[in-house]
């Protein structure tokens, strides 16, 4: 072959990067992305912690409500087990607390009282499992009234046609001392 006909390929000159051409943009961009991801992670952690606290508070309030409900049912069972002829209300101001049964409105504004008042004046429901609640639920039974029982079928009922009504107010405390729940029921007993 002839030297004239062979073309030489142009040679590529290697590009040499010097410090004058680098500006550090990749480093800055990667650090910015790292900061954004860190902030997103911290925000997610705070949100999760807040949701966990809220769910614990809801659970604690549920435990308090169930404790109050248990105390109310325990008080109803106590009324049912008593001899109706011996169930005279005690004066809430003069009986040595806790009273078994007080007159209606002997204790005014029970709903506004703090836990210390309830622990002094109310009966403790001791049948709650230990370790579930902060302290035993409490209840007060008030003699409400005696009413004629117009709903009873006189052919099938062989007793007086009156029912005794009792107002039962109970307070439950959750697994911590901050969750309280109060229930008030009217219990009717026919004897």
Task: Give me the residue spans of the domains in the chain.
Answer: 56-190
Alpha helices in 82-158 (DSSP H): 115-121
Q: Tens digit of pLDDT per residue, the chain (191 long)?
A: 555 666 667 677 666 666 666 677 888 899 999 999 999 999 999 999 999 999 999 999 999 999 999 999 999 998 888 887 777 777 656 666 667 777 767 777 777 788 888 888 888 888 877 778 888 899 988 888 888 756 555 554 445 567 888 889 999 998 888 899 999 999 988 76
Render pLDDT for 6-46 as a digit per residue (tens, 0 to 9): 666 767 766 666 666 667 788 889 999 999 999 999 999 99
- The rounded Cα 49 to chain-centroid distance in angstroms is 17
Give the DSSP H/E element, type plus range, for residue 38: helix 25-81
Q: What angle do CA 187, 190, 191 make, to 5 degrees?
A: 135
Render pLDDT for 39-59 as a digit per residue (tens, 0 to 9): 999 999 999 999 999 999 999
Distances in Å between the Cα of 53 and the Cα atoms of 39, 60, 144, 167, 177 are 21, 10, 41, 35, 15
Here the tokens at position 12 are 């590529």
Here the tokens at position 46 are 């705070």
């Amino acid at each position: 072959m002839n030297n004239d006909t062979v073309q030489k390929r142009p040679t590529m000159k290697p590009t040499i990067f010097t410090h004058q051409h680098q500006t550090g943009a990749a480093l800055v961009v990667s650090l910015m992305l790292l900061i954004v991801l860190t902030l997103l992670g911290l925000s997610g952690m705070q949100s999760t912690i807040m949701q966990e606290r809220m769910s614990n508070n809801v659970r604690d309030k549920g435990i308090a409500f169930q404790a109050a409900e248990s105390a109310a049912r325990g008080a109803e069972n106590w009324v049912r087990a008593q001899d109706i002829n011996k169930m005279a209300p005690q004066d809430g101001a003069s009986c040595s607390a806790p009273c078994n049964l007080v007159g209606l409105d002997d204790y005014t504004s029970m709903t506004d009282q703090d836990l210390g008042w309830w622990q002094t004046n109310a009966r403790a429901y001791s049948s709650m499992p230990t370790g579930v609640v902060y302290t035993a639920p409490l209840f007060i039974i008030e003699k409400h009234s005696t009413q004629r029982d117009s709903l009873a079928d006189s052919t099938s009922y062989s007793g007086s046609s009156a029912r005794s009504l009792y107002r039962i107010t109970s307070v439950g405390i959750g697994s911590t001392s901050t969750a309280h729940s109060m229930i008030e029921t009217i219990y009717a007993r026919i004897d």
